[in-house]
Structure 1
Amino acid sequence: MTDWRAVFVGFVVATVLGIIGLVVPGIGQIAAGLAGGFVAGYMAGGGLGSGFWHGLLAGALGGIIGGLLVGVAVGIAGLAIGPIGGAVTGVAGVGIFALAVAISLVMALESAVAGIVGAAVSS
């Protein structure tokens, strides 16, 4: 059974560290995803499979939210340019969607690995 509290806390940790990682060099987005997955796996406990699952969900949630934010930012920028910009960003939407999916997959996989480590430490 999924412990949504662990997933949410892992997502929040990854998000906060990701924001700090944008401002403070050296932390980076990869470290944020690893920390969020570790926290989700540690809180959920219950073995390596559980840690994998909870870390995966925390990372995927972060990736989906991040991808949506990138899409909204590009859409707003396109609308600010005018009708031509709106058309260009509409065409670029397919590429943005592919980028968002790739970001989600990378964040989910790295968080899943960290979730395994977190579950192993909690046991």
Structure 2
Amino acid sequence: MTDWSAVVWGFVAGIVAGIAAFLVPVVGHVGAGLIAGFVAGYLAGGTLGSGAWHGLLAGALGGVVLVVLTAPIASLLGGALGGPIGGVFSGLSVIVVGLVIAFVFALDSAVGGMIGAILAD
């Protein structure tokens, strides 16, 4: 069973850590995903699989929110610069790239979730 409270708290921790990650660009964003997963896995507890699942959801939620916020902006800018077809292609490309990024965020968050679940028990 998914503990959505743990997922949301992991997501919030990931957003806060992601904002702070701009100080250390590459390591910071990987660390933000680990922190998001750790918080979700720690709060959910249970087995390694449970921690990985909750961490994965927290990381993926962060990526999906990023896509939802940036795709309309890219579509509007693409439409202004490249006409209607430019708007469609720029919006779709942001969605595809964003979903790939969400998957990558989810992977390191799953590792953090496993670590959190180990330490919770």
Q: TM-score, normalised by structure 1?
A: 0.87
Runs of 4+ in 1 over 4 A off after TM superposition: none
Contact 1:6/1:44, CA 8 A, preserved across alignment = yes
Residues 86/25 of structure 1: CA separation in 2 closer, same or farther (3 Å cut): farther
Q: How much has 1:85 moved relative to structure 2?
A: 4.2
Aligned to 2:99: 101
Per the TM alignment, residue 94 of structure 1 is displaced from its structure 2 partner at its CA by 3.1
Change (3 A) 1:19 1:72: farther
Structure 2 gaps, min length 5: none
Secondary structure, counterpart of 1:46 in structure 2: coil
- Structure 1 runs not aligned, ≥5 long: none
Q: In the TM superposition, what is the alpha-carbon distance from 1:96 to its structure 2 partner?
A: 1.8
1:51 match: 51
Quick one: distance in 2 between partners of 1:18 and 1:85?
33
What residue is the counterpart of 1:4 in the other structure?
Answer: 4
Aligned length: 120
Q: 1:13–1:36: 8 Å Cα contact kept in structure 2?
A: yes
- Identical counterparts, % of pairs: 45
Distance apart, 1:86 and its partner CA = 4.1
Q: TM-score, normalised by structure 2?
A: 0.88
Equivalent residue letter for 2:115 = V
State the 1:92 CA deviation. 2.7
Q: Give the match for residue 31 of structure 1.
A: 31
